[in-house]
A and B are shown apart, each in its own frame.
Chain A
């Protein structure tokens, strides 16, 4: 851990990513304290104001303070990604190890299952599900979990397959170790690093999906602030005021860049094999 942090400090973009991510987490935790106004407080006299000392990012079409909405909106984004990623990571891990270590027919079934879920373009799938179940934050979380499980499952399966033929696993088997012991004591540590990298790179994807669905009016229900719903309000009034769109988009871009930079740097540090491709090819 200390080693990873030291290496991270020498990677400029990675370090920037770490600072951004820590700031966002801090802001999210303190959002309710930091927000100058109540994010759902309507003030009809102060509609669509430009930024001023009273409202640093202006106000929306109902006179709500945009800065407060952006700050509190971060809670929705991080809540969805935290829940969705941890659940799909766990389920993907279990199913992936099952596919990699279990009987061959089970592997086949699971792989076809993964491919089926992945064969819907994610947003189309999300829309279809929302049309059936109705819009809510839980639906968004459910859809993200369902579409993310195969990503983790496939990686875990590949890594499990690669590990299970190694000599030290054969030695364990020869010593009559239980499958559970082999999987959790020996296979898991070997796949933990790529999984963590994947999870970190997945945060912006999930945040983007939540924002996208809320932008389409299919995520959080009003008046709850979310970056997507701020953008949705802003889109309807784009000709009256640019500020809701500017203010709703920037946190999304910052979160995306922060987690991506951090994920890339972690990949370079924890998984040198992957370093050949991508940004640091030279």
Chain B
């Protein structure tokens, strides 16, 4: 297990370095340097040279890449071109908003999806089972920004039940929670059906096993059998999927943040892309890539820990 973990961690590190190099490579492959794009066609050569120097783009690619990675290791991601503030500070300011949103969305989806999946497994082909079946296929596939837009339109603009914009007043917890309702709904809806389907199918397998039958034979109430004997095992595959889900939800969170004008990593990235603020773009992408890779790594490790067969490579 340790051996496997070490190999996976090493590979993850390599992937992060490669991912950053890929981005760096692209900056230099495209025609025209970022400074001219940023300053427009009428900028003087001196101005361009100065900006390039400030963004560190006047050095050879390999030097830049090495310097970026070394600095990143020390937690220094460079400076915002416009405000001169450290990128690390800017990203860390926005990160909690996104992390809370993503965790809350997946958490709520699990909280609703797991009982729903248990129920569907026990009452197979009941109307609720059929509804979740269609729902799971439908909602996981529909782009989450459509759900966000419709939620904004119906629940906020038309019915005025929830606020449409921002993250709420700082320090005012009820207000902040009210601002979280719609984004969480939009982000988590697709996962409810998906999680319930996963729990359902693994539950159907577990429910046939000896120890569950034994528990039933002892005359334990059905819900105790399900909760204490079947679900404990049936939940395992779902745990790993939730780990992956946290990484994947980052992309959808970007749309949710933009639709609801909520601060966060996604909105930061979108804004810095629009203003071509390269240091912030690079920093944000690096942080989210690390977040994504770590989420995948953790779910891989949990998976390998549960299922030793996965520890040996497939060839």
Q: Is the CB of B157 within 8 A of A242?
A: yes
Q: Taking the nearest CB of chain B, how far is it from the CB of A51, in angstroms?
A: 15
Q: B288 near A282 (CB under 8 angstroms)?
A: no
Residue of A nearest to B27 (CB): A132
**A130-B273, A249-B149 known; A115+B138 contact, CB < 8 A:** no
In whole angstroms, how far apart are the Cα atoms of A172 and B212 in the complex?
49
Minimal Cβ-Cβ distance residue in B for A261: B137
Neighbouring A residues of B204 by C-beta, 8 Å: 281-282
Which residues of the other chain, A, contact B15 by a CB distance below 8 angstroms?
112, 115-116, 119
- Check if B142 sits within 8 Å of A246, measured CB to CB: no
CB proximity of B180 to chain A, nearest CB, Å:
20
Q: Of the 9-residue stretches B17-25, B40-48, B58-66, which lies at the interface with chain A? A: B17-25
Which secondary structure dominates where chain A touches chain B? Answer: helix
Q: Range of interface residues on chain B?
A: 35 or more
- Report yes or no: B255 in contact with A124, Cβ–Cβ below 8 A: no
Q: How would residues 271 to 315 of chain B score, 1 for a CB under 8 Å from any chain A CB and 0 otherwise?
A: 011101010010011001100110010000000000000000011
Contact B288 A264 (CB under 8 A): no
Q: Mark B141-157, 1 if CB is under 8 A from A, else 0.
A: 11101100110110001
A246 to B251, CA, bound (A): 23
Q: Are A112 and B136 in contact (CB under 8 A)?
A: no
* Among B14, B145, B266, contact of A215 (Cβ-Cβ < 8 Å): B145
Which residues of chain A from 122 to 174 have any CB-CB distance to chain B below 8 Å in the complex? 122-125, 127-134, 158, 161
The answer to whether B143 touches A120, judged by C-beta atoms less than 8 angstroms apart, is: no
| Most central of A113, A131, A211 by chain B CB within 10 Å | A131
Asked if A68 is an interface residue, CB under 8 A from chain B, the answer is no
Question: Are A128 and B285 in touch, CB under 8 angstroms?
Answer: yes
Q: How far is the CA of A235 from the CA of B134 in the complex (A)?
A: 29
Residue of B nearest to A249 (CB): B146
Residues in B with CB closer than 8 Å to A276 are 201
Q: Assess whether A123 is in contact with B251, with CB atoms less than 8 Å apart.
A: yes
Contacts A119-B19, A129-B26, A131-B273; A235 near B288 (Cβ below 8 A): no
A216-B270, A281-B204 are contacts. A119–B289 as well, Cβ < 8 Å? yes
User: Is A272 positioned at the interface, with any CB of B under 8 Å from its CB?
Assistant: no
Which size bracket describes the interface of A in this complex?
Answer: 35 or more
Q: Is the interface of B mostly helix, strand, loop or mixed?
A: helix
Residue on B nearest A129 in the bound complex, by CB:
B26
- Let me know if B248 and A253 touch, CB within 8 A: no
Residues of A close to B11: CB separation below 8 A: 112, 115
| Shortest distance from the beta carbon of B149 to any chain A beta carbon, whole Å | 5
Of the residues A116, A204, A211, contact of B22 by C-beta under 8 Å: A116
Q: B197 within 8 Å of A by Cβ?
A: yes
Chain A residue with the shortest CB-CB distance to B284: A124
- Chain B residue with Cβ nearest A259: B141
A242 touches B281 (CB 8 A): no
A279 contacts chain B at the CB level, 8 A cutoff: yes
Verify if A28 is at the interface (C-beta below 8 Å from B).
no
Contact, CB under 8 Å: A235 / B137: no
Query: Is A2 engaged at the interface, CB distance under 8 Å to the other chain?
Result: no
Query: A252-B146, A256-B141 known; A279 and B197 CB under 8 Å?
Result: yes
Q: Is the CB of A231 within 8 A of B149?
A: yes
A235 to chain B, nearest CB (A): 7
A218 proximal to B (CB < 8 A): yes
With contacts A121-B292, A238-B153 taken as known, whether A161 is within 8 angstroms of B314 at the C-beta atoms is: yes
Give which listed residue, B133, B201, B273, contacts A127 with CB less than 8 A: B273
Cα–Cα, bound, A261→B140 (Å): 12
**Other-chain residue from A128, A217, A249, A282 in contact with B23 (beta carbon distance below 8 A):** A128
- Between B22, B197, B250, B288, the greatest number of chain A beta carbons within 10 A of the residue's beta carbon is seen for B22
List B contacts of A194 (CB < 8 A). none
With A133-B30, A208-B143, A279-B137: A120-B289 Cβ-Cβ less than 8 Å: yes
CB closest residue in chain B, given A113: B18
A264 and B137 contact, CB distance less than 8 A:
yes
Whether the pair B315, A239 counts as a contact (CB closer than 8 A) is no
Binary interface encoding of chain A residues 234-270 relative to chain B, with 1 for a CB under 8 A from any of its CBs, else 0: 1100110010011001001100110011001000000
A206: min CB distance to chain B, Å:
11
Contact B273 A281 (CB under 8 A): no
Q: Which of B125, B143, B258 contacts A282 (CB 8 A)?
A: B125
Q: Which positions 50-73 of chain B face chain A at CB distance < 8 Å?
A: none
The distance in angstroms between the C-alpha atoms of A211 and B251, with both chains bound, is 14
Complex formed: what's the CA distance from A158 to B74 in Å? 39
Shortest CB distance B235–A (Å) = 16
Q: What 12 additional pairs, Cβ within 8 angstroms, besides A124-B251, A281-B200? A: A107-B315, A117-B22, A119-B15, A125-B285, A127-B254, A130-B273, A131-B276, A205-B141, A215-B145, A249-B146, A260-B141, A281-B197
- Report 14 cross-chain contacts, Cβ distance below 8 Å, ordered by A residue: A120-B288, A123-B254, A124-B269, A128-B285, A132-B30, A133-B30, A204-B141, A231-B149, A235-B149, A239-B157, A242-B153, A245-B150, A249-B150, A278-B201
> Which residues of B does A touch, CB under 8 Å?
11, 14-16, 18-19, 22-23, 26-27, 30, 34, 37, 124-125, 133-134, 136-138, 141-143, 145-146, 149-150, 152-153, 157-158, 197, 200-201, 204, 247-248, 250-252, 254-255, 258-259, 266, 269-270, 272-274, 276, 278, 281, 284-285, 288-289, 292-293, 296, 314-315
